[in-house]
Structure 1
Amino acid sequence: MERFTQGFYGYVVAMLVCLAGVGVFLLVTPQSRTEHIPKVDYSIDVANMRRAAPYQVWPPDPVPAGWIPTSSQMTDQKGVVSWRLGFATAKRPEAATRSHVMLAQSDEKPAAEFANRMANTGEVVGNVQIGGVTWEQRLRKDKNQRSLVRLLPDVTVVVTGTAQWDELSALAGSLKQQVKITS
Structure 2
Amino acid sequence: MPPPAAAARSERSPRDMAISLLVLLIPIALLLAFYRGFLGGDEPNTVDPAPAFEQAKSAGAFPVSEPAELGDGWRAVRATYRTAEDGAILRVGYVTPEGRGLQLVQSNVPPDRLLPAELTDAGRPQGRTDLGSGTWQRYTARGNEQALVLLQPERTVIVVGDARDNELRALATAVD
Taking every aligned residue pair, what percent have the same amino acid on both sides? 21
1:127 maps to: 128
What is aligned with 1:180? none
Alignment counterpart, residue 49 of structure 1, candidates 50, 56, 61: 56
Q: How far 1:14 sits from its partner (Å)?
A: 5.9
Tell me the equivalent position of 2:163. Answer: 163
Label 1:38 to 1:135 Cα distance change in 2 as closer, same or farther (>3 A): same
CA contact (8 A) 1:83 1:104 kept: yes
CA distance in 1, matches of 2:44, 2:103: 15
Post-superposition CA distance 1:27-76 (Å, at most 9, x none): 64353335422111111111110111321112212334311000001102
Partner of 2:154: 154
Normalising by structure 2, we get a TM-score of: 0.82
Contact 2:61–2:87 (8 Å) recurs in 1 = no
Give the corresponding residue for 1:12.
14
For residues 70-85 of structure 1, the aligned pairs below 5 Å read 70-78=77-85, 80-85=87-92
What secondary structure, in the 3-state scheme, does the structure 2 residue paired with 1:6 have?
Answer: helix
Q: Deviations over 1:111-148 (max 9, x none)?
A: 122023212333111110001311000124x7110100
Match of 1:62 among 57, 66, 69: 69
Alignment of 1:136-155 (within 5 A): 136-140=137-141, 143-155=143-155
The residue identity in structure 2 corresponding to 1:125 is: Q
Aligned partner letter, 2:75: I
Higher helix share: 2
| Gap runs ≥5 in structure 2 | none
* Deviation readout 1:133-170 (Å, 9 max, x if unpaired): 11000124x71101001111111110000001111110
Give the SS at the match of 1:24.
Answer: helix
Aligned partner of residue 5 in structure 1, secondary structure: helix
Using the alignment, how far apart are the partners of 2:19 and 2:6 within structure 1? 16
Contact 1:3 1:10 in 2 (8 A): no
* Structure 1 spans left out of the alignment, 5+ residues: 92-97, 177-183
Supply the RMSD in Å over aligned alpha carbons.
2.4
| Distance in 2 between residues matched to 1:101 and 1:124, nearest whole Å | 18
Count, aligned residues: 167
Q: 3-state DSSP class of the match of 2:12?
A: helix
Whole-Å separation in 1 of the counterparts to 2:26 and 2:164 = 43
Distance 1:27 1:133, change over 3 A: closer
Structure with higher RCO (Cα < 8 A, 6+ apart): 1
Q: Give yes or no for contact 1:52–1:81 (8 Å, CA) kept in 2.
A: no
